[in-house]
Amino acid sequence: MEQCAQQQEAARHKAPLDALQRSLEQQGFDITRDQLQPLPDTGLAHWHVRLPRPQGTTPSRIEAHHGDWVARIPKQSQMQLDAEHNLNYQAACFERAQTGGHTPLLYACLPCDALLPRGALLVEAIDGRQPDLPGDLLAMGRTLASLHGQPLPPETQRPPLGSPTDPWQDMRREIRHQSKYLRHAGLSAASMRTIERALATLPEHLEHQRDAIRLISFDAHPGNFLIEPGGRAVLVDLEKCRYSFPGFDLAHLSLYTSTTWDINTRAILFTEDIVALYQRWQEQMDDGRGSQSWQDLIACRQAMWLWSVTWCAKWKATQCRLADSTHSGEDWSAQLSDDGLIRHVRGRVDHYLSLPILERVMRELAELADAA
C-alpha cells in the first residue's frame, strides 16, 4: 500500500507521456510512446518532451521543417488564466515573438481535454548549449533587441497578450500584490526592513512611457536561452510576453537573482558587464523604437528585482499547498515538480531573501545609477 502511494506521488512529478501520445494520435500525428523523450524537469511551469517531427496530417508550413519538436505541457498558468485561455495566450506569445527570428517556431496546439487538462504546444526543438556568462550576454541582448524592435501593433491587435495602458503602474500593482506574502516568508527583521525601504524608493512614474512600450518576454533570465553552434541566442521559454517596457527584460537577463538562478548558467556579473549590455542594447535600438532613458532603465531594474524577491515570498507561502485538481489558474504546488527541483528553488529563494544578498543588489543598483 505504501509503495503504491509512493509510486502515485512520483508520477505527479513526471510528464504525462501516455496522455501526450494519445493526444497526438487523436490529432492525426503518428507518434509511438517510445519516441517520446522526456526532458529534465527544470521549470515550475511546464514539462517538456522531445519528439521527432510527426508523420500524418500536418499544415504545409510544418512540412518544410525536418527537425525535432518539443511538446510544452503546462503544469500551471503563471498568468493566472484558465487552461484554454492560458494555452491560447502561450500560442500567441510564440506567434508574435517568432517574427524576430530568435525564438522557436510554433507548429501546433494540442487541445485542453481529459487527456491533457491544460493542453500542450508543439514547438521547434532548438539544439544548443546553455549560455556561458558573461561571454554570451551580448548575444542574448541582441535576441532581446530583435524582440523589442518589432513594430508595435495597434492596441486593438494586441490581445490576447497583456497591454496595460500604464505598464509602470501595472508592474507596481503586481509587486504590491506579491509583497503581501512577505509576512508569511519567514524573513528576518533586517531583510524585511531592507525590502520595505526598496519598495518605498520605487519611483511613482517614469518619463516618456508610451513611447517606450514594446513586445517583451517578461521571463528573460539566462536559463531560458540556448546558444546555437553559429552563435544565435534563442529565447526558448515564451509564456508571459506582454506589451510593456524593455527595461524589464534587460533587468531579468542580468540581475543577480537571474544569473544565479539556474545551476547550468550560474554566474555573477560585474557592473561593467551590465553597463556594456545596456549600452549595446541602446545602440541596437538607436532608431528610438522602444528606447528608454538610463534613469528609466535602472528604475525598471529595481522594479524587476522587487518583483523577483516578492515572488520568492509568494512561492514560499504557496508551495506547500496541494496541487489544484481543477487545473485552473496559478499553481505553485511542490507536488507538480521533481523533488530535486523543489529543493533547488527553495535554496535559491532563501538565498535571495537573505540580508547580504538584498544589500548586494541594492549596492549594484546604486552603482548603475551613477554609471550613466
Confidence label for 13 from pLDDT (cuts 50, 70 and 90): low
pLDDT top residue among 67 and 308: 308
Pairing of strands 46-51, 106-110: unpaired
Please name which of 274, 272, 265, 268 lies closest in space to residue 256, comparing C-alpha atoms. Answer: 268
Using the 3D structure, point to which of 101, 124, 147 is the last residue of a domain.
124
pLDDT reported for residue 328: 79
Counted domains in the chain: 2
The rounded percent of the chain whose pLDDT value lies above 70 is 91
Tell me, yes or no, whether 225 lies in a domain: yes
Claim to verify: residue 179 and residue 68 sit in the same structural domain: no
pLDDT reported for residue 210: 72
Tell me, yes or no, whether 249 lies in a domain: yes
Claim to verify: residue 230 and residue 334 sit in the same structural domain: yes
Claim to verify: residue 112 and residue 240 sit in the same structural domain: no
Claim to verify: residue 261 and residue 198 sit in the same structural domain: yes
Claim to verify: residue 110 and residue 162 sit in the same structural domain: no
Confidence label for 9 from pLDDT (cuts 50, 70 and 90): very low
Answer for the pair 45, 33: CB distance below 8 angstroms, yes or no: no
pTM for the predicted model, two decimal places:
0.93
Using the 3D structure, point to which of 63, 89, 124 is the last residue of a domain.
124
* Residue 265, domain CATH: 3.90.1200.10
Tell me, yes or no, whether 307 lies in a domain: yes
In this predicted structure, the answer to whether residue 134 has a pLDDT above a threshold of 60 is: yes
Claim to verify: residue 146 and residue 119 sit in the same structural domain: no
Using the 3D structure, point to which of 66, 89, 124 is the last residue of a domain.
124
Claim to verify: residue 169 and residue 314 sit in the same structural domain: yes
pLDDT tens digits for range 220-264: 999 999 999 999 999 999 999 999 999 999 999 999 999 999 988
- Structural domain including 278 reads 137-369
